[in-house]
Structure 1
Amino acid sequence: MEIRTHIRLVVAWRIIIISGIISLIYACSYSDKKISHLSGIAPSEHTLLAITPDVSIKVIGDSLNKSYPQLRTGKVFPITGLLRVDGKAYRFMGDDSLRISPLAPLSEDTIGWTGKYSFLYPGKGWELREYDDSLWNEGNGAFGPTKGYYYPAHTLWGAENIYVRRHVKVDNKEVLKNHKVYARYVCDDRIKLFCNGGFLLENGFTHLTKCQRLTDEAVSQIVDGDNILAAYCRNTGGAGLLDFGLYIENKTYADAEPATLKEMEVQATQTQFIFQCGDVELQIDFVSPSLSERWDMTGWPVGFLTYQVRTASGKEHTVEVLFDVDTEWMFGKRKIDSWVDKDWRFVKSDSLYLAMAADETSFSCEDNHIVLSQKLCAGNENRGGLLLGYEEGTTFQYSGESLRPLWNKDGTREIKELMMSVGNRYQDLKAECNKLDYRWNIKAFQAGNKAFAEQMLPAYRNFISSHRFVLSSDNKLFCFGDTLSNVREAYGNFPMLLFFNRTDWMKGLLNPIFAYCEDIYWVKKYPPYDIGLYPIASKQVKLEDCAVEAAANMLMMTTAIVEAEQDFGYADMHWKQLCLWADYLQERMKKMTFPSVGLLDNDDERVKCVLGLMAYHKLVQLKGNL
């Protein structure tokens, strides 16, 4: 009896601690705490621009002009930013190689390539240039699953081992002089790569494309005429994948000097960089306007960056800002369209849109690189902006309905209209975001310390960069991640959404789960762990039900919404389901035993039962009070 009493006290104290944490999230002011500036916050990585889950741009630390920014998938977003001051170029965004061109492109950068392959060990010397591979099988790279896979493979590889020889023709080796040469590859699981018999690299599994510079010795082995890239890859389990190629540095901007980073400031809706470019100071702000509190902008697939130059000496300078985007790297060779509409110059490649003010802006396209530049010399505006938009073409399938994105729920709107709407008032939107960031900055440091602010503020952009917003047929907001209505992920996002008082997004996470459970086809006494993979709600992806966790989390999240709004209406709409889940947890509790060890360490399911039922009892109290 004493043991059970002790265990219940431990659980009670855990609940008190959790309640205290939630109370801190609600906190808005503590007059005795010092407010810190955000310039000291430097997350290891964060979302620069929250556009759509397919194209949301991330940066690692303060590496804006040390490496390319990345998409959420890990693939690079090949954008280069330069500021020319009196003819001298400074790079404030992009990699040190700036642009690379394929000598032998990867499958994802082209429509595939031809290679010779064998699943059996071909014998000693198979990697040499002189080896005779005329009897080998011929197939198109990459090698791996040819259907339903994330990577564009063209030849099925189902064996444990594969040996591939790729013939690469070099017309003039002299073009490689004074240029960096790179091997790019993706493999599952282990790869060994050779060039003309010389060893280049060995590495393990990577589902992201890796890039490794060749040594001068390796480059010297390349000859005029036929060269051999040879790869051995071993698959230790699951699906196998192999792709590899050669790339050369493109020195279009070889004269560009890296700008000096003076300051970096990460806020909730935007990130600011200040660079020194000779005598000119450049301020770059990345702004995600869909993070504003305006309902009509939720889920807008548009972001923008503003740039402003200034000098301390007052001396006049001729200044030009330039952006270069490699669309071939992103999409392959696609058609690029350009037009001017209502004072805005638009450029479109596949589903990516770019726009700058047409005045003093020039556009060019070479080798599938979009180049937009604007003069900022004396007598003209010393500031401007670059708009980015992305149109996801897939509509969401839910219960036999095709639901469009919230911003285009009737199917009549276009990305360029949204971009012009943002562009025509981007300074006002930035001012609005400045006010929000200031307020949330103060709140973060009042509710916690620097570590709390560093975790909470970037999470806002990370959330919207990984979620899609749609409107149901009965005008309810649905908010989906890649795994649709994942209860555990929703539960993990709730503290951050509570902090920012986004009860609308909190409901958007729960609405599809409630709708799914209130359908006649769902007969279980607990909610699903998830309802499918984007873009189709079909069946649960996770094999285990995780019934107790899902039921408890739903009860706790609903309680959080009711307490935040001080309105019982949302729980009342779904009261039958909430009672059903509470009854399920009560039944599970009756069947459980409580040994003296392992309650909090090895079996959190019982703790979840307690927390879920505590949340339900709180709802019962709120039902009477509200």
Structure 2
Amino acid sequence: MNFLRNKITFLVVLVCCAIHVLAQQSNSKNQLRAPAFPLITIDPNTSAWSYSDNLYDDAVRHWTDKPFPLLGVVKVDGIVYRFLGKEEIELEAIAKMGEHEIWSAKYTVNEPSKDWTQINFTDSDWKTGAAPYGTLDNEPNSRTDWQEPKIWVRREVILNEDLGGKNVYLEFTHDDDAIMYVNGIEVANTGQATGKNRRVKLSEEVVKTLKKGKNILAGYCYNRVANGYFDFGMYTERKNTISFTQTALQKSVDVQATQTHYQFECGPVDLNISFIAPLLLTDLELVSRPVNYLAYEVTSRDGKKHDVQLYLEASSHWALNSPLQESTSSTYKSGNLQYVKTGSKSQEVLAKKGDHIRIDWGYFYMAADANKSKSATGKGTTLREQFLKGQTLQSTANGNQLVLTQNFTVSTKHSDKIMLGYDDIYSIQYFGKNLRPYWNRQDNSTIEKQFQLADKDFAKLKQACDKFDAELWNTAIRVGGYEYAALIALSYRQSIAAHKLVQAPNGDLLWLSKENDSNGSIGTVDVTYPSAPLYLYYNPELAKGLLNHIFYYSASKKWTKPFAAHDIGTYPIGNGQTYGGDMPVEESGNMLILTYAIARMEKNADYAKKHWEVLTTWTDYLVEHGLDPDNQLCTDDFAGHFAHNANLSVKAIVAIGSYGYLAEMLGKTDVSKKYIAIAKDMAAKWKSMAADGDHYRLTFDKEGTWSQKYNLVWDKLLDMNIFDKSIFKTEIDYYLTKQNQYGLPLDNRRTYTKTDWIMWTATLADDMVTFQKFINPVYKFMYETTDRVPMSDWVYTDKPTRAGFKARSVVGGYFIKMLEEKINNQK
């Protein structure tokens, strides 16, 4: 009987486990309609996204919004179905942007009369200057130095014909707020936001005003904080032929940490596509390998035999900063792989730097099994016509398209892959020395070797990615719920792809961020700080790689100030800080807190010991200046300079405590007692200084203000016990009364927020229900936002639009809740 009872019990347990596993599998799909879906994510230069719900509704785009043309088509029994990308309607310039052609206009930095946008307005007393207008120190494309807060520009456009009945577009780049007019009619008003190459289709009413002769494009831009930039132009559609009009039927899309999966119906067959970036952070060689996969599986739904041809077309734009640059393309075979390759003719390595600059040195590649694939380069319309007619593809002398095709028959299933990659030759200039990518740091590899490894490793890497994605998803569900897991999955590749891995001449690992869409800085400390939880969680060596360049900068005496630098340059040139202002308390605090976090993850303070002299200098600065910070910027620099910042004070105090606990780990008992006591004393003063009834203030000197105190999270995570724990509950309870539809505002001044800081603030809560009250509105924003770009971290809480920023590494900060669990499990 006992045997039978035990057997029945075992079977019941087995069935329950099976049900649990099936339930997990059924719930593991990410239902989030992402603002943009990650496709190819290698580094800041090679970063391609789908900005539409269906993969075929729009062109594939770089994170800067510029087209990265990638077309995918299958022909099934002679019928063509487009499943990837869109053939863009070509535009002809009426008045080119300044980034492509110099233009001059009248401008003023003093507010003009209300009729300044009209054609007949007299602007003879205005200045004349060439576009783009911007701060020359930080915006290398600028031609006219603009340092004042506001600028008004009138650009005269002479037309040879009326444009009535045509499709006309205004394109403009603005940092920050902009209002645009055509012949006195307002056509765009961005509100408080930045944007690059925004394109607005002009209404029929506006187009009717575009008459032969003189016309006026007028623009106003307000630069709220540093780095101003303004440029605009006008374009009309060029008539051309679209080859692939019929689309597949998309059935689903699912974003996981390392993969984006699509399912399509193409007539009698099903097509499953997976974009795979095997970014497993414990393997630095793999993180650095510049190759992603487009894997596919075709299944016959009716069990009958079908002839299938797959066509994948890319453009030389993948290797150019501007589509107007000249390029060279070729096809060749190496080993068992067939390649198509493209790059600029000029090959000016590391010659450009800036925020929305795209790479124009090195080479872009597609590769596939040579025995199964054909390749060609040339004019897109010709290659598409050859494919449609069933002809063998023949390369043409002109054109900038690259094509790989594969032909096969399927009666059950057929699967294969195409690989896409980039060889940037040299990745970073680091204090005067050009550094190769980490995968070729010894100058003993080639891009072909990397593709061969990617080809050989595919099966095991696909399995590893499936396992990793499932484990991450299940962990995120457990610690934060479904909405949290969905956001975590989407954030993973975005954060990683905003970095480049290289090795410094002294052997240091450098995991260098590009400050995407905020100013283009390289290795920014207050971008490192929010992104660090992802890297602390998976690989503390990468967390060190986020800090090493700043320690070197100070220790080498290249940076001589008694606080940490903001950055080491403008990507990809890291020869010294280029940001216009210092953030002394912010950056010093960030470095100290993260150094202690690394020590906690590694369970030793060896890394801190290596940099003890610099850490001591920064700590003593914070002791003197951190309790009540004077007028300065913090990481939320878009909010401007202000003094007596209570949240910045928290950071300084926690940083001083971090130094004290590091000293304790190193056996420096007297030092430890001294600085921990200082931190606790400052925290007690802070509580009194910031108290404002049922919450704590934004600034010590202003009653009735409030702000998120997200910096407190490290006191909780690292068990520092610096601040009175009652502060956490008081703040959380108060925040719940201040939430809007799409999240918790950053503070009382405006309705915008930072989504990474919401994650940190939510982690101050002691239960999942409260945590989710803060997270779910962020999920709602990402699902409903009308801004189709890689996730923004600076968004409005009362409307589904971003205030600025996209594709930034800081979404790595979403992992703070998972990091909390990992730290707790290490105790």
TM-score computed with the length of structure 1 as normaliser: 0.76
Partner of 2:735: none
Partner of 2:57: 66
In the alignment, the residues of structure 2 paired with residue 57 and residue 50 of structure 1 have an alpha-carbon distance, to the nearest angstrom, of: 6
Residue from 210, 218, 236 that aligns with 1:232? 218
Residue from 248, 258, 280 that aligns with 2:269? 280
What amino acid sits opposite 1:88 in the alignment?
I
1:380-459 pair list within 5 angstroms: 382-391=415-424, 393=426, 395-398=428-431, 400-411=432-443, 413-459=445-491
SS at match of 1:285: strand
Residue from 192, 195, 198 that aligns with 1:210? 198
Deviations 1:458-478 (A, max 9, x none): 332122211122212221101
Residue from 334, 341, 345 that aligns with 1:347? 341
Residue from 378, 386, 399 that aligns with 2:409? 378
Residues 30 and 254, structure 2, Cα contact 8 Å, conserved in 1: yes
In the alignment, the residues of structure 1 paired with residue 76 and residue 98 of structure 2 have an alpha-carbon distance, to the nearest angstrom, of: 37
What amino acid sits opposite 2:305 in the alignment?
E
Residues 304 and 386, structure 1, Cα contact 8 Å, conserved in 2: yes
In the alignment, the residues of structure 2 paired with residue 140 and residue 616 of structure 1 have an alpha-carbon distance, to the nearest angstrom, of: 51
In the alignment, the residues of structure 1 paired with residue 253 and residue 117 of structure 2 have an alpha-carbon distance, to the nearest angstrom, of: 51
Residue from 516, 522, 535 that aligns with 1:497? 535
Q: CA deviation at 1:550?
A: 3.2
Between 1:201-210 and 1:570-579, the stretch displaced more is 201-210
SS at match of 1:533: coil
SS at match of 2:546: helix
Kindly indicate which of the two structures has a greater share of residues assigned to strand. 1
Partner of 1:102: 92
SS at match of 2:408: coil
In the alignment, the residues of structure 2 paired with residue 261 and residue 375 of structure 1 have an alpha-carbon distance, to the nearest angstrom, of: 21
Residues 335 and 349, structure 1, Cα contact 8 Å, conserved in 2: yes
Partner of 1:614: 657
What amino acid sits opposite 1:294 in the alignment?
D
Deviations 1:151-208 (A, max 9, x none): 857789999544434456689x9xx99x9664544467756565xx796945458642
Deviations 1:382-414 (A, max 9, x none): 43314132526564132x544333233244544
- Change in CA separation of 1:218 and 1:417 when aligned onto 2, cut-off 3 Å: farther
Q: CA deviation at 1:457?
A: 2.8
Q: CA deviation at 1:370?
A: 1.0
Partner of 1:541: 579
1:322 aligns with 2:311: yes
Higher relative contact order (CA 8 A, sep 6+): 1
What amino acid sits opposite 1:356 in the alignment?
A
Partner of 1:560: 597
SS at match of 1:210: strand
- Change in CA separation of 1:589 and 1:211 when aligned onto 2, cut-off 3 Å: closer
Residues 70 and 84, structure 2, Cα contact 8 Å, conserved in 1: yes
Between 1:437-446 and 1:371-380, the stretch displaced more is 371-380
1:338 aligns with 2:330: yes
What amino acid sits opposite 2:234 in the alignment?
G
Partner of 2:259: 270
Partner of 1:360: 373
Q: CA deviation at 1:573?
A: 2.2
- Change in CA separation of 1:252 and 1:294 when aligned onto 2, cut-off 3 Å: farther
Deviations 1:38-84 (A, max 9, x none): 33344434533221212212334634322233323333323332233
Deviations 1:476-527 (A, max 9, x none): 101222334433222212222233x211110101222222232245555543
- Change in CA separation of 1:425 and 1:103 when aligned onto 2, cut-off 3 Å: same
- Change in CA separation of 1:590 and 1:42 when aligned onto 2, cut-off 3 Å: closer
1:40 aligns with 2:77: no
Cα-Cα RMSD: 4.5
Residue from 308, 312, 319 that aligns with 2:301? 312
In the alignment, the residues of structure 2 paired with residue 258 and residue 193 of structure 1 have an alpha-carbon distance, to the nearest angstrom, of: 37
What amino acid sits opposite 1:490 in the alignment?
T
Partner of 1:13: none
1:80 aligns with 2:71: yes
In the alignment, the residues of structure 2 paired with residue 53 and residue 401 of structure 1 have an alpha-carbon distance, to the nearest angstrom, of: 20
Name stretches of at least 5 consecutive residues in structure 2 with no aligned partner.
1-19, 345-360, 381-398, 515-520, 630-643, 669-826
Residues 551 and 582, structure 1, Cα contact 8 Å, conserved in 2: yes
What amino acid sits opposite 2:333 in the alignment?
D
SS at match of 1:388: strand
- Change in CA separation of 1:279 and 1:200 when aligned onto 2, cut-off 3 Å: farther
Residues 143 and 154, structure 1, Cα contact 8 Å, conserved in 2: yes
Residues 174 and 229, structure 2, Cα contact 8 Å, conserved in 1: yes
- Change in CA separation of 1:443 and 1:230 when aligned onto 2, cut-off 3 Å: same
Q: CA deviation at 1:89?
A: 2.9
What amino acid sits opposite 1:543 in the alignment?
G
Residues 360 and 374, structure 1, Cα contact 8 Å, conserved in 2: yes
1:221-260 pair list within 5 angstroms: 230-235=216-221, 241-248=230-237, 251-253=240-242, 255-260=244-249
Residues 364 and 423, structure 2, Cα contact 8 Å, conserved in 1: yes
- Change in CA separation of 1:415 and 1:231 when aligned onto 2, cut-off 3 Å: farther
In the alignment, the residues of structure 2 paired with residue 239 and residue 576 of structure 1 have an alpha-carbon distance, to the nearest angstrom, of: 37
- Change in CA separation of 1:585 and 1:218 when aligned onto 2, cut-off 3 Å: closer
Residues 329 and 400, structure 2, Cα contact 8 Å, conserved in 1: no
Deviations 1:559-598 (A, max 9, x none): 2222222233323323344444444444557999xxxxxx
Residues 168 and 229, structure 1, Cα contact 8 Å, conserved in 2: yes
Residues 627 and 649, structure 2, Cα contact 8 Å, conserved in 1: no
SS at match of 2:257: coil
Q: CA deviation at 1:248?
A: 2.0
Partner of 2:749: none
Deviations 1:299-331 (A, max 9, x none): 333323222221221222232223333446953
What amino acid sits opposite 2:297 in the alignment?
Q
In the alignment, the residues of structure 2 paired with residue 153 and residue 470 of structure 1 have an alpha-carbon distance, to the nearest angstrom, of: 30
Residues 41 and 450, structure 1, Cα contact 8 Å, conserved in 2: no
Partner of 1:623: 666
Residues 51 and 390, structure 1, Cα contact 8 Å, conserved in 2: no
In the alignment, the residues of structure 1 paired with residue 427 and residue 94 of structure 2 have an alpha-carbon distance, to the nearest angstrom, of: 32
In the alignment, the residues of structure 2 paired with residue 206 and residue 608 of structure 1 have an alpha-carbon distance, to the nearest angstrom, of: 28
Partner of 1:92: 83
Partner of 1:26: none
Residues 198 and 218, structure 1, Cα contact 8 Å, conserved in 2: no
Q: CA deviation at 1:614?
A: 3.3
Count of matched residue positions in the alignment of Structure 1 and Structure 2: 570
In the alignment, the residues of structure 1 paired with residue 95 and residue 284 of structure 2 have an alpha-carbon distance, to the nearest angstrom, of: 44
In the alignment, the residues of structure 2 paired with residue 94 and residue 291 of structure 1 have an alpha-carbon distance, to the nearest angstrom, of: 27
- Change in CA separation of 1:127 and 1:88 when aligned onto 2, cut-off 3 Å: farther
1:574 aligns with 2:574: no
Partner of 1:488: 526
Deviations 1:208-237 (A, max 9, x none): 2233345567778999xx777642234556
In the alignment, the residues of structure 1 paired with residue 575 and residue 56 of structure 2 have an alpha-carbon distance, to the nearest angstrom, of: 41
Q: CA deviation at 1:422?
A: 2.2
In the alignment, the residues of structure 2 paired with residue 44 and residue 242 of structure 1 have an alpha-carbon distance, to the nearest angstrom, of: 26
